[in-house]
């Protein structure tokens, strides 16, 4: 019981910084999805990253940094975030919408987990690649979609 009544200010500050970094790295992804009027946006993405980071930091605190049980934490995060992402996917006729949002949510969970494990380089790269993919590939996607009806007519 005594462990619950102690407060380590230095450790708390480190946790606060990590949670804030996870939040900030996910914010541009959420901003993009919000701007595109997708089912998840500027609130959801930072919360997913921060929660994933928090779960990892809790696991490290409870299990220890060298525990072999961390694979279960990652497995649970991947499954849970995949479930959230599944809710973003909608089937409309023969097409599925929301797959980029679902994949972005999954990447955001990985960003949070990476920050929680102290792998900031991986978190930053994941964030940059996700944002760049969403921004740069959007015009290409529109070109492909405009061309698709022409392709169907030729068959």
Tell the residue number behind the tokens 């740069």, with chain if given.
136
Instruction: For residue 78, give the nearest of 47, 43, 102 by alpha carbon.
Output: 102
Is 41 in a helix, a strand, or coil? coil
**Whole-model pTM?**
0.85
Write down the residue that tokens 């006729």 correspond to: 93
CA-nearest of 26, 6, 43, 27 to 114 is: 26
Q: Would you state the pLDDT for residue 149? A: 63
- What is the reported pLDDT for 107? 96
Q: What is the mean pLDDT of each run of 10 residues along the chain (155 residues)?
A: 77 96 97 85 94 96 90 92 86 80 94 97 98 89 70 52
Nearest Cα neighbor of 61 from 97, 103, 18 is: 18
pLDDT of residue 14: 96
What is d(CA 149, CA 64) in angstroms, rounded to the nearest whole number? 56
Q: What torsion, rounded to 10 degrees, do the Cα atoms 113, 117, 123, 124 define? A: 150
Q: From CA 88, how far away is CA 28, in angstroms rounded?
A: 18
N- to C-terminal Cα separation, the chain: 71
> What are the helix (H) ranges across the chain?
9-35, 44-63, 70-86, 99-116, 120-154
Tokens 């993405």 sit on residue: 45
**26 near 45, Cβ under 8 Å?**
yes
Quote the domain boundaries for residue 113: 2-154
| Total tally of structural domains belonging to the chain | 1
């Amino acid at each position: 019981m005594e462990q619950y009544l102690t407060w380590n200010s230095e450790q708390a500050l480190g946790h606060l910084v990590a949670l804030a970094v996870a939040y900030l790295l996910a914010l541009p992804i959420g901003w993009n999805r919000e701007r595109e009027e997708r089912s998840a946006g500027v609130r959801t993405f930072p919360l997913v990253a921060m929660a994933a980071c928090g779960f990892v930091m809790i696991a490290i605190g409870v299990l220890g940094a060298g525990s072999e049980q961390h694979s279960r934490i990652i497995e649970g995060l991947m499954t849970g975030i995949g479930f959230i992402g599944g809710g973003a996917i909608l089937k409309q006729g023969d097409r599925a919408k929301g797959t980029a949002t679902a994949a972005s949510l999954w990447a955001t969970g990985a960003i949070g987990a990476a920050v929680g494990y102290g792998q900031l380089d991986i978190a930053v790269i994941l964030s940059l690649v996700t944002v760049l993919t969403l921004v740069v590939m959007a015009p290409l996607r529109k070109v492909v979609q405009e061309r698709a009806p022409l392709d169907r007519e030729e068959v």
